[in-house]
Amino acid sequence: MERQFDLIIIGSGAGLNAVGALADQGLKVAVIEKGPLGGTCLNRGCIPSKMLIHSADVIEVIKNAHQFGIRVKGYEVDFGSIVKRVTESVDGDSREIEMNLKGSENPLLYKNECRFIGHKTLQVGKDVIKADKILIASGGRPLVPDIDGLAESGFITSDEALRLKKQPKMLTVLGGGYISVEMAHFFGSLGTKINIVEKHNTLVYREDEEVSQKFTELFRQRYNVLTGFEPVKVAKKGEDFEVTVRGEGNKTNVIRSDQLLVATGRIPNSDGLDVDNTGVKTDEKGFVIADEFLETNVKGIFALGDAVGHYLFRHSANLESEYNFYNIIDPSNKVPVDYNVMPHAIFSSPQIAGVGKTEQQLRAEKVDYAVGKHNYIDTGMGQAIEDRSGFVKILVEKNTKKILGCHILGSDAATLIHEVLVAMKSGDGSVRNITRTVHIHPAMSEVIQRAAGAVG
């Protein structure tokens, strides 16, 4: 059966944000999704991971209660209940999205795999559908590196880690990025012993150097962290994994654990769509190449999110979906995407949040900059919550005091950074937007105010 639509959306994550509005504009819309509705964020990413991590955060509060004169006699981890709470919530939301779409004739839902078989033409199951406008929002998946013995070992990725039925006694994590450290925090706080193997010299190495160095130091106090090592072989010995890692000078170690998590990055799903059959170009990593309007080299075919890979965050995909809506509706007046002030956060313990340039980037670019820094513990609320390792670091252009970047390590970092985001977007974007604002005393936000005031 062949059908013609005005717009086809491939993927049901951020691509769905504007689907109702597009249909309301009179466009006949089709949505294609082979998996659970809601995309990576809802089903295999930020929503379930943060729900699980909250259980770990609660345990940390219990463990540290003695610092505040509270003696907790003990607690018991019901791993199955923790996971069940999350999966039932996530699966319920996904089913609700699917039911709403199934009850609609426009947009029309296709629950199947798809691939391009010609110019703006898709094979979806037994159907062939076409549209003048297509939005590729196909998302991404975990990258599995080529390591001897890994493929047949029975390892897990973050997809499976979020739905494990049994808590590992010891978990080895390959990779030291944000997924790795968030999962280490979750399982480690619940009592699992953690090994982390990272080829770079620090964990989360893309963060500002002071943040990544301090974070690595803190993680070493809790877990077995092997930086400067790469996995070269994986073997299964009975129910256990043996990972051979190699470091400087060809030094090798063998790490044993009852579970192995691969968290070495993500890749786009575009390779399963045969986009070359419709003429869409991809880069060497498989990401769809799109211009500043998120339009590909084929007029009328747009892309967003993990498919293009500009930023691998759901909030950036949400931003992109807004521009997709404008540019699909009114292609003669397209608007370029404004990625300025794109933040990120890592929900580990401690939390990390960042925006803009790191200090190492500014040095490499030979920018004349100044630094303002303040420690959590040197504020009233920092003392109250006993955060002795947290700090805020603000980087500004020396002459104009324009904020170039901000990096936070510590409690509620993901929330605290929003003041800086507003300051960067407002007026002249200078640090004065923070220093001239009255801050509640002794709220934790004073650490931002004082870091801003410390700019040289």
pLDDT in tens, 227-272: 999 999 999 999 999 999 999 989 999 999 999 999 999 999 999 9
Q: What is the CATH topology of the domain spanning 2-142+267-333?
A: FAD/NAD(P)-binding domain (3.50.50)
pLDDT in tens, 14-42: 989 878 888 888 899 999 999 999 999 99
What pLDDT is recorded for position 21? Answer: 83
Nearest-angstrom CA–CA distance, 403 and 424: 6
What pLDDT is recorded for position 22? Answer: 86
**Residue 442 preceded by cis peptide, ω within 30:** yes
Residue ranges of the domains in the chain?
2-142+267-333, 158-264, 350-453
What confidence category does residue 205 fall into, taking pLDDT thresholds of 50, 70 and 90? very high
What pLDDT is recorded for position 18? Answer: 79
Smallest Cα–Cα separation from 298: which of 287, 309, 306, 289? Answer: 289
Q: What is the DSSP string of 49-89?
A: HHHHHHHHHHHHHHHTGGGGT---------HHHHHHHHHHH
What pLDDT is recorded for position 278? Answer: 98
Mean pLDDT of the chain: 96
Smallest Cα–Cα separation from 371: which of 387, 391, 344? Answer: 391
What confidence category does residue 371 fall into, taking pLDDT thresholds of 50, 70 and 90? very high
Spatial contact of 373 and 394, defined as CB atoms under 8 Å apart: yes
Q: What is the CATH topology of the domain spanning 350-453?
A: Enolase-like; domain 1 (3.30.390)
Spatial contact of 324 and 18, defined as CB atoms under 8 Å apart: yes
pTM over 0.85: yes
Nearest-angstrom CA–CA distance, 179 and 264: 8
Do the domains spanning 2-142+267-333 and 158-264 agree at the CATH topology level? yes
What pLDDT is recorded for position 456? Answer: 72
Nearest-angstrom CA–CA distance, 424 and 150: 45
- 433 phi and psi angles, rounded to 5 deg: -60, -25
Least-confidence region, from 87-96, 102-111, 189-198, 408-417 = 102-111
What pLDDT is recorded for position 1? Answer: 75
Question: Which one of the listed residues 200, 407, 418, 441 is annotated catalytic?
Answer: 441
Q: Is the pLDDT of residue 71 over 80?
A: yes
What confidence category does residue 103 fall into, taking pLDDT thresholds of 50, 70 and 90? confident
Please state the CATH superfamily assignment of the domain spanning residues 158-264 in this structure: FAD/NAD(P)-binding domain (3.50.50.60)
Q: Is the pLDDT of residue 10 over 80?
A: yes
Task: Give catalytic status of residue 441 as yes or no.
Answer: yes
